[in-house]
Chain A
Amino acid sequence: MGKTKNSFKDLIQHTEFTLGAIIVLLFVVTSVCTDNFFTMYNITNLMKQCAITGVLAVAQTFIIITGGIDISGGAITGLACMVLALLQRDTNMNFWLTLVIAIVVAVFAGFVNGIIIYDFKVPAMIATLGMSTIIRGIIKIISNALTVSGLDKRILNMGNSSIFGVLPTLAVIWLIVALIIFLILKHTIFGRNLYVIGSGINVAKLSGIKVRNMFLSVYALAGLLYAVAGIMLAARVQSALPTGGEGYDMNAIAAAVIGGASLSGGRGAISGTLLGTILMVLINNAGVQFGLNTHVLEITSGILIVFSVTMDMMKNRKKA
């Protein structure tokens, strides 16, 4: 008996449990109380809304685990999206090659982030803030600050297609990305070392971890995920906007933090981030169904962020 009690206690201790409970509750209440929430159209839409932020949030999670932060995610996503659109509109390049180039550009941007942060010792917040501003400038130059349409049909179709008629392709991509990163974090040396770095650079160095390689790989890998998000963004918007991806990075950071990632490093999990993403999107979607003002919903999201970090802090204090 005592054991069951304990394991239930353990369960509540988990961020995932709390988040899951809130999500289910919110889902049920909104389904019962409103007409348009639990409809095929809205649920599909909900999943699509999750997808892009979700991919960025996954990237953000492993960066936050190392004790870093990346606020250039939205900009790099926008850049990948714009590069893709320009190549597909203005050149006759092979479709796959355009994808590869968009990916290479984003990975390179992430790699440069890593160099600035590790080699030049610029705090991640500042380095990526700078990178974000630079990239926004680049996007406007290459696009003349205009919306670019004329994307390849395959991209356009992807935005509206679904698998088995229920799961939007975009959501599937999100879940696959999340699964891959989940496996990396749990099962590989690379993943485990991220946590060690986040809990202390000195410890990591003395444990023989090649910290510089890790930093560069982490930010480059984030770049790769941003490229995926950029392609998804092109598919969802059916064009590339000069402002594409704006605001996504902050939502992604929020989702990771709500999911239990600690900005001081060393803690975070993909499962939490997934639920954090869903909760963020769900609150907005449900709020709209209830006819709440979207500005009020912004306030709600803000409160949620502060609240979840407060909970986390209190939990830690109790332990210490």
Chain B
Amino acid sequence: MRDTRDTILKIENVCKFYPGVKALNNVSFELKKGEVRALVGENGAGKSTLIKCIMGVEKPDKGRILMNYNGEWVCNSNALEAQKHGVYANYQNVNIAPDLSIAENYFLGHQPINKLGLVDWKKMFEDSKRIIDKFEMKVNPTDKIRNLPIAMQAMVTISKIAINDDIRIVIFDEPTALLENEKVEILFKFINELKQKGVSIIYVSHRLEEIMDICDSVTILKDGTYVDTKPIEEVTKDSLISMMVGREMSDIYNIRHMEPGEELLRIENFSDSKHFKNINFTLRKGEILGFVGLVGAGRSEIMRAICGVEKRLTGDIYVRGKKVNIKNPSDALKHGIGFLTEDRREDGLALILPIKTNINMNSYDMISKHGVISLKKETERAEDYSKRVNVKTPSIMQLAGNLSGGNQQKVVIAKLLCCNPDILIFDEPTVGIDIGAKEEIYKLMEKLTAQGKGIILISSYLPEVMGLADRLIVMAQGKITAQYGKEELKNLKEEDVLRKASIED
């Protein structure tokens, strides 16, 4: 069947080169009016570069991108022109002004003006409130971005698009990476609404389930080249993956599970002032313990308290049955607890330092005498561990900030492994990384549990955590609302978990 809708965007033979990399190599495709098009590919496939080109932020080295603006073909040569023509994007790395309020961020660069030529704050707050309500965000227009949880910040960047009147093309770059399910639903409602109005959408996501749900068609990129565009009915998750990765993958969550051994970690009566209350659980050798909950359920906060990053009011930590006193992250490491934090760019990595320093920085004392580091061991260890976790890099002197998300995460894991911890806490380890790297991280988890380590896995992505965990703990509003063992997990449905996760007081 031929699609009779008007074409709104034509991408013609676009090439973009960076030193040593062909980011985009002769990419061509078209987008129809009112179409929701998924754009998929592994990290480094060129999705972000293509988006930047469409937005006019980057110029293609060859080829051109044309947009149908009221029947005329125009080329957006900078971001301002793109906006003038109704092209908007929410970028992957939350890019908003953290010290400004939500309202100010909504209207950044185009604040409403009153008769006196001054900023019309009243209108700004009213309009913002409307958007906030529409997206069911339960925040105030005056709230500072900095004080919002990261999921809410992501929501602000998404809802920001709705402030504009003349929207023609919207690009969503990994919009759901940080969102919990309930907010994802709201986003999908918004996308449908846009579609009804004839807005065209380019939707970038690593979550193929979502793509199957909301997109009309899908364009696949691989290593900077165009692979194919297909109507969504003609693809399956597996066929998509094989087109993206170039190999078949039936079930990426299918890892080998170990028989849980002795107790490694026991948490008793953990409470803090507001995030969690009376938490008890244990972690055993060779086990993956999953934590599920909506954002704000208190999962990360518990882990941060265990590792001495935040304070707690009451509660005891037992490592291998012995009560331990953990006051700061260095105590946690000493007792063999390694913590991979949710925000790897902020908490996990020194982005402007080389891989070598990043891998060693937790544990310099292990390769030093009287504070003097053995440079030879430093290099050897970095080489060794970066190989163990399979960091793809020409050299360990590469700066961490130049790596892809997946490789960055592997560096963080390598850093933790250097301290040889028995207990690993992985908080959202696969946020914003591609399927290939995800699979590698799952394999790594398999390897670690086989070595007798215990892993606590926090993930907002239910298929992932339900697929990997041996045992599942569900939390809502700071309390544990359900626990599922291995047998129960086999027949567990996502809906059941969600219901337990959204229990109100």
Contacts and interface: CB of A to CB of B under 8 A. Distances in A.
A207 B329 contact: yes
A192 B372 CA distance: 10
B346 A192 contact: no
Interface in B338-356: 339, 341, 346-353
Contacts of A196: 350, 353, 357, 361
Contact of A189 (B307, B339, B368): B368
B210 interface: no
Contacts of B373: 187-189, 192
Nearest to A183: B372
Interface in B303-347: 307, 309, 328-330, 332-333, 339, 341, 346-347
Given A196-B361, A205-B309, A320-B401, A188 B372 contact: yes
Contacts of A193: 361, 364
A318 to B, nearest CB: 8
A320 B351 CA distance: 11
A200 B415 CA distance: 16
A206 B372 contact: no
Contacts of B118: none
B368 A206 contact: no
Contact of A202 (B346, B371, B375, B415): B346
Interface string B450-478: 00000000000000000000000000000
Interface string B365-376: 100100111010
A320 B18 CA distance: 10
Contacts of A189: 364-365, 368, 371, 373
Contacts of A205: 309, 328-329
A267 B352 CA distance: 8
B362 interface: yes
B150 interface: no
Given A188-B373, A189-B371, A266 B352 contact: yes
B306 to A, nearest CB: 13
Contacts of B346: 200, 202-203
Contacts of B347: 200, 202-203, 206
B399 interface: yes
A265 B399 CA distance: 14
Given A206-B309, A206-B329, A192 B364 contact: yes
Contacts of A291: none
A266 B353 contact: yes
A203 B309 CA distance: 11
B392 to A, nearest CB: 18
A318 B402 CA distance: 11
A210 B353 CA distance: 19
A95 interface: no
Main secondary structure of the interface of B (DSSP, over half): mixed
A190 B328 CA distance: 18
A196 B361 CA distance: 8
B348 A206 contact: yes
Contact of A195 (B19, B348, B350, B372): B350
Contacts of A195: 350, 353, 357
Interface string A194-225: 01100110111111111000000000000000
A207 B353 contact: no
Interface in A225-252: none
B330 A210 contact: yes
A154 interface: no
B325 to A, nearest CB: 15
Interface in A38-82: none
A203 B344 CA distance: 9
B375 A187 contact: yes
B258 to A, nearest CB: 28
Interface in A170-188: 186-188
A318 B20 CA distance: 12
B311 to A, nearest CB: 13
Contacts of B339: 206
B484 to A, nearest CB: 30
Given A188-B372, A189-B373, A192-B357, A208 B328 contact: yes
B371 A199 contact: no
B350 A190 contact: no
A319 interface: yes
A8 to B, nearest CB: 16
A187 B401 contact: no
Interface string B396-434: 000101100000000000010000000000000000000
A200 B351 CA distance: 8
Given A188-B373, A209-B330, A203 B352 contact: no
Contacts of B352: 199, 262, 266-267
Nearest to B399: A319
Contacts of B349: 200, 203
A192 B375 contact: no
B330 A203 contact: no
A188 B368 CA distance: 8
Given A196-B350, A199-B351, A202-B346, A207 B372 contact: no
Contacts of B309: 205-206
Contact of A203 (B332, B348, B368): B348
A210 B364 CA distance: 13
Nearest to B401: A320
A41 B368 CA distance: 46
B349 to A, nearest CB: 6
A62 to B, nearest CB: 15
A204 B358 CA distance: 10
Nearest to A205: B329
Contacts of B307: 206
A247 to B, nearest CB: 31
A199 B328 contact: no
Given A202-B346, A267-B352, A192 B361 contact: yes
A251 B352 CA distance: 26
A185 B479 CA distance: 47
A68 to B, nearest CB: 16
Contact of A199 (B330, B350, B372): B350
B350 A206 contact: no
Nearest to B304: A206
Nearest to A265: B352
A207 B419 CA distance: 11
A189 B362 CA distance: 10
A266 B415 CA distance: 18
B350 A208 contact: no
A210 B402 CA distance: 27
Contacts of A207: 329, 361-362, 415
Given A208-B330, A262-B352, 12 more contacts: A186-B375, A195-B353, A195-B357, A199-B352, A203-B349, A204-B350, A206-B309, A206-B329, A208-B328, A210-B328, A210-B330, A266-B352
23 contacts: A187-B373, A187-B375, A188-B371, A188-B372, A189-B365, A189-B371, A192-B361, A192-B364, A192-B373, A196-B353, A196-B357, A196-B361, A200-B347, A203-B346, A203-B348, A203-B361, A206-B307, A206-B309, A208-B330, A208-B362, A209-B361, A262-B352, A266-B353
Closest 10 CB pairs of A and B: A208-B330, A199-B350, A189-B364, A266-B352, A202-B347, A199-B352, A207-B362, A208-B329, A188-B371, A207-B361
